[in-house]
Structure 1
Amino acid sequence: MSAPESPPTGTSRWRMVGPGIVVAVTGVGAGDLVATLVAGARYGYALLWAAVIGCILKIALAEATGRYHLATGSTMLEGWRSLGRWTSWYFGIYILLWGFVYGGTAMSATALPLAALFPDVLPFWAWGAMSGIAGAVFVLFNRYAMFEAVMKIFIALMFITVVSLAFLVAPDLGAALSGLVPSLPDGSAIYTLGLIGGVGGTITLAAYGYWVNAKGWRGPAWIPMMRLDNRVAYIATGIFVVAMLIVGAELLHSAHIALSGGDRGLLDLADVLRQRFGGPVATMFLFGFFATTFSSILGVWHGVSLLFADFVRNLRGGADAGLAHDLETTAPFRFYLFWLTFPPMLLLLLGQPFALIIAYGAFGAFFMPFLAITLIWLLNSSRTPREWRSGWLSNALLGAAALLFLILCADQVRSLL
């Protein structure tokens, strides 16, 4: 899909919305569904405000990433490289370790609804392996335009499923509105911070600028279009997350129903829906569960592979400057697709030991402070044209995100020790 030479105006802008939807649908995975569902189950509507703040912070992070790409003509990896060689060491080690653990986690999460929908057809590990291979093949043989179109289909399926469930359980609107007033139930402080930090993406937020460029948006003139795209996507994400919290509050909190830990909690919800509303509703939810997990596979397989390809390009000193906007065709892109797909299948065969699941959470905690702090650095320095540097609101939101993720990172380290 080629973008027009100049940004559209008026209502025609809405037809161009896309990269924001891609980053949002990628970022909302099974873990976000479980965290939001459990928040509703444990605390009712009391933490609704935290989910909303989480979406606002992700809007700020994604906007900053897209603005850096468009205002400077540089990529995030080029920006990080300008801050010193330490960023290459940090990011290079991180992306290899994270990719191995995430690959197994994502394939396992996608296997759960497939195994529940089609029992006795394939073993669990085979569903996971097929999901990873299908994602890799799709990304390998399709360019961004087709990728974005398919991701829009998945977000529509996710949105319809979860919002329909929220209406079905008949929310208490008065209680929901009261949940927009910040409060902290006893023992919920760290859990609340995790809910704020977990809504809508981790490393994939750094890929937003690459997807903006792949869409054909280049130069500062596209920044207003990018901002509209980003806000629309995360408002949709906010509605999605609020709907999931409503399901937890109305269906589980009032009935004192507890869920299993991890992604398997979503299978418990399917059982509750089957008992309450019948088999068709449970089946609809499982398809929405699959759309959530498989869209995350597609988004990570594409977006993080772009990041890795640009990482390698920058290790070579940016010699392949002409490839900065054509990274999908490079050997490092294909290598990282392989890295995400095949080595992590060992984790499927091992049943994903608990220690590896903990490691995935730790890796996620270590990236977000790095992203937030380096964005503040890049967007308040001479690396960014003065007119597009961060104002007080952007700096306040990025600073809040950096502080939040540093606290979560410290808590993650504390729990490991």
Structure 2
Amino acid sequence: MSEHTPSTPAGAGLATEVAPPKWKVIGPGLVVAATGVGAVDLVATLIAGSKYGYALLWCVVLGCVMKVVLVEGAGRYSLASGRTIFEGWQSLGRWATWYFGIYIVIWGFVYGAAAMAGTGLPLHSLFPWLSVTWWGILSGLVGLLLVWFGRYSAVEKVCAALVGLMFIAMVGAAVLTLPNIPDMLGGLVPRIPDGGIVYVLSLAGGVGGTITLAAYGYWLREKGWVTPRHMRVMRLDNRVAYTVTGIFVLATLVVGAELLYSAQIAVSTGDQGLLDLSEVLDDRYGEWAGKIFLVGFWAAAMSSLVGVWNGVSLMFADFVARARKLAPDHRDGLAHGRWYRAYILWLTFPPMVMMFLGKPVVLILAYGVLGAFFMPFLAITLLWLLNSDRVPREWRNRTWSNVAMTLIALAFVVLAANELWNQVSKLV
């Protein structure tokens, strides 16, 4: 038997002989897209719109296409091979296992604090009787309870509801600003304004996710989509999800271009920039507009928190189970197993210390560097896996997929080098 012969995936018995009805296809893609678009992505898009108007609109479209390619690749590998993405990385050598193991531990600790702070900011603005810290901690505990006791179907429904709130708030804010359609169409022509190269890379790379893109295969498994028969429905799910994401991020750029660029209003970097925008909406359209936007801001942050608490915990459980050479269907490597719950605790409780003490500089630097290096890791390893005998020939990359993934990998390598340079500069 070949070393790369697919194993029977956990949950294969749930697979049906026909693809699900079209009205049931929206699920894992929406979860991965909702999880990936957080407050940081929104602020980056908002600032790009405030600095350059619609000049970088084409980057939003490019970013969505890049994520569709990567998520489709991750889903195709999982469905065609019958293996998880971590099993694929493990087959590439110990270096991949070590890299991922170090990354997921450091990333989880720092992301836990960032996610809780991101939910705490809008809640504190809406309900100031509790501090950002305590609202964030309560949000983390709510996320813990949901993914600890709830099944994937509950996570999917919660994320869908939060995406609805995000969509209404941001698209509503964009409509309020009365966007200039001719200028928007002009922004689809690729061009890089002076000083805009970093924003070009950030927008193209930041439309939805880092490690959460790799979690897509695990959500497919939880959904019961586990064989090549689900390939078509997976692709439709992925495209619909990133179309919704693209409209959402486009609306953010419109707000930045119309509300901030035209009035030359600057906003802060970090999550604080979204609070700045809520105040601008208050002043321009009334307090109700700012409140609705804050609800959307909270929904964006909370959907990321819930998605990570579930999806990345699934990845960690699989990582530990494979490292310990457990059977593919061993309880400890699945949802609600011992290692799944251990990582939920890791995301929730140790980061609470950072909520009170602030983020240690060394940890932030490590997080920034490792975070920047995950996307090229994903793109390069997918290229490797999908051009090998680890997947049946019919599901391997075609020429266009190889060209697209190569260009994406190069773009993320440049982004990683830029991030590494920025972090090293802070130490000098």
Using the size of structure 2 for normalisation, the TM-score is 0.94
Paired position in structure 2 for 1:90: 99
Paired position in structure 2 for 1:344: 351
Matched, 1:6 2:14: no
Aligned-pair CA distance for 1:362: 2.4
Matched, 1:234 2:242: yes
Q: Secondary structure at the match of 1:287?
A: helix
Tell me which amino acid in the other structure corresponds to 1:228: L
User: Aligned partners of 1:118, 1:359: CA distance in 2, in Å?
Assistant: 34
Equivalent position to 1:280, from 285, 288, 312: 288
Sort the Cα spacing of 1:102 and 1:386 in 2 relative to 1 into closer, same or farther, 3 A.
same
Paired position in structure 2 for 1:39: 48
144-153 vs 226-235, which moves further: 144-153
Paired position in structure 2 for 1:16: 25
Contact 1:214 1:325 in 2 (8 A): no
User: Aligned partners of 2:362, 2:181: CA distance in 1, in Å?
Assistant: 41
Contact 1:104 1:347 in 2 (8 A): yes
Paired position in structure 2 for 1:214: 222
Contact 1:3 1:215 in 2 (8 A): no
**Structural mapping, 1:15-414, within 5 Å:** 15-119=24-128, 121-317=129-325, 319-323=326-330, 327-352=334-359, 356-414=363-421
User: Aligned partners of 2:363, 2:182: CA distance in 1, in Å?
Assistant: 41
Aligned-pair CA distance for 1:3: 6.5
Aligned-pair CA distance for 1:326: 6.7
Aligned-pair CA distance for 1:4: 6.4
User: Aligned partners of 1:115, 1:284: CA distance in 2, in Å?
Assistant: 14
Count residues with an aligned counterpart.
413
Deviation >2 Å, runs of 4+? 1-4, 6-9, 323-326, 351-363
CA root-mean-square deviation: 1.6
Tell me which amino acid in the other structure corresponds to 2:202: G
Sort the Cα spacing of 1:371 and 1:314 in 2 relative to 1 into closer, same or farther, 3 A.
same
Contact 1:40 1:245 in 2 (8 A): yes
345-354 vs 178-187, which moves further: 345-354
User: Aligned partners of 1:284, 1:400: CA distance in 2, in Å?
Assistant: 39
Q: Deviations over 1:69-127 (max 9, x none)?
A: 000100011111111111111100110011111111111111100000001x1122111
Q: Deviations over 1:18-67 (max 9, x none)?
A: 10000000000001110111110000000000111000000000000000
User: Aligned partners of 2:28, 2:396: CA distance in 1, in Å?
Assistant: 22
Tell me which amino acid in the other structure corresponds to 1:55: C
Q: Deviations over 1:168-188 (max 9, x none)?
A: 100000000000000110011
User: Aligned partners of 1:271, 1:346: CA distance in 2, in Å?
Assistant: 30
User: Aligned partners of 1:263, 1:6: CA distance in 2, in Å?
Assistant: 46
User: Aligned partners of 2:290, 2:360: CA distance in 1, in Å?
Assistant: 28
Q: Deviations over 1:332-388 (max 9, x none)?
A: 101100000010111110233566555433222011111110000000001110000
Sort the Cα spacing of 1:85 and 1:196 in 2 relative to 1 into closer, same or farther, 3 A.
same
Flag structure 2 segments of 5+ consecutive residues without an equivalent.
1-10
Q: Secondary structure at the match of 1:322?
A: coil
Sort the Cα spacing of 1:354 and 1:175 in 2 relative to 1 into closer, same or farther, 3 A.
farther
User: Aligned partners of 1:58, 1:14: CA distance in 2, in Å?
Assistant: 23
Identity of aligned pairs, percent? 55
Using the size of structure 1 for normalisation, the TM-score is 0.96
Tell me which amino acid in the other structure corresponds to 2:18: P
Q: Deviations over 1:203-253 (max 9, x none)?
A: 000000110111001111110110000000001101111111000000000
Aligned-pair CA distance for 1:321: 1.6
User: Aligned partners of 1:339, 1:400: CA distance in 2, in Å?
Assistant: 35
Aligned-pair CA distance for 1:7: 3.3
Q: Secondary structure at the match of 1:381?
A: coil
Contact 1:213 1:325 in 2 (8 A): no
